[in-house]
Amino acid sequence: MNIEQFEYIIKVAEMRSISNASESLHISQAGISMAITSLEKELGIKIFKRSRSGTIPTEEGMEIIQKAYEVMSKLEEIKESAQLQTSTMEKELRLSSTQGLFLTVLPKSLALFKKKYPNVKILMDEKGGQEVIHDVLNNKIDIGLLNIPKEKQNEEELQYQSLMEANVMVSVSKNSPLANRKNISPEELINQSLVVYNGPKMKAFIQDFFNQYGEMDILFYTNNTEIIKKTVAEGLAISFSYDIGLGHDPYYTSGELVHIPFANQNNISLEFGWVRSKKQHFSKAAKEFIRCLEFYTATLK
């Protein structure tokens, strides 16, 4: 047996398909099939069975695949240990974040991490929460940053960790008649125009809000948080936003925008945090980045 065989059975088990594993690994299907057949003959067991659902591990195969995960993880630790001996981590750190949630802590966390480990290449995408989870499950990223769903998906494969909670607030221009309010009721907002962040959690909140208190005029939806804040600052609309990091946001610290809590209402509460795959090696780079992230997150609580 060899490392390549372990790599192949892990990838086939993850993707439930030899053809998809072949495409992902850039190895011919015949090469993967021959390697798996050779390993099965050597071990005297059947690792996979084919069905309409795809190429599925047998009960005996699952034990072998789990051991293969452990071996590959140990190999990564050995490589990492060797890198640490030369005071460098020459590898990539792959991240995905839901847009707008980590505008304050993420840049500072990345800057601190990069100062400590300048040789690590950081790749980061902004995606929706479901896409972030999908990328973690498919080993496209090392760490995903998102608002953690109340019903956590694939907990047997994924590790979720909460960093902070946030509540929904009303954001208005400093020139708005509402700007001096200590709090506000939902009924008082019905005649206001609204600009909405185009994310599933916020859209769900808006729909629930409309169902309870009546519909508001929506100016537009966008994923661009800068456009939302500029639109509100110019007095063209109000917005609903989360109360994370407002004390560090230039629009709020300068007084251009004012945030107002809801009165006599249990605000919607969201958990923000990170997610990683339990099946993938938890790299030194990922661990150090999380330490940097937790450090700056603590300053916002």
Residue 254, pLDDT score: 94
Total residue count of the chain as it appears in this document: 301
DSSP conformational letter for 299: T
- Find the DSSP H helices in 52-156: 59-85, 105-116, 129-137
Are 145 and 103 in contact by the 8 Å Cβ rule? The answer is no
Residue 126, pLDDT score: 81
Same fold, 92-164+271-298 and 166-267: yes
- What are the φ/ψ torsions at residue 107 (nearest 5 degrees)? -60, -40
Residue 79, pLDDT score: 74
Residue 102, pLDDT score: 60
CATH 3.40.640.10 fits 3-85, yes or no: no
- Rounded distance, CA 176 to CA 236, Å? 10
- In the CATH scheme, what is the homologous superfamily, with its name and number, of domain 92-164+271-298? Periplasmic binding protein-like II (3.40.190.10)
Question: From the first residue on, what is the mean pLDDT of each consecutive set of 10 residues in the chain (301 residues)?
Answer: 91 91 90 93 92 88 91 82 56 81 73 87 85 90 87 86 85 95 91 88 85 92 90 95 78 93 71 89 87 78 55
Task: Report which residue type is found at 110.
Answer: L
- What are the φ/ψ torsions at residue 204 (nearest 5 degrees)? -65, -40
Indicate the SS3 state at residue 28. Answer: coil
Q: Which two tokens stand for residue 301?
A: 């609580």
Domain parsing of the chain, residue ranges: 3-85, 92-164+271-298, 166-267
CB-CB neighbours of 261 under 10 Å: 15
Task: Report which residue type is found at 91.
Answer: K
CA dihedral over 160, 161, 165, 166, signed as positive or negative = negative
Residue 89, pLDDT score: 54
Tokens 């059975």, residue?
Answer: 9
- Rounded distance, CA 99 to CA 118, Å? 25
Residue among 105, 31, 111, 89 at smallest CA distance from 281: 89
What CATH architecture is 166-267?
3-Layer(aba) Sandwich (3.40)
Q: Which residues contact 123 (CB under 8 A, 6 or more apart)?
A: 92, 93, 94, 95
- Rounded distance, CA 48 to CA 261, Å? 56
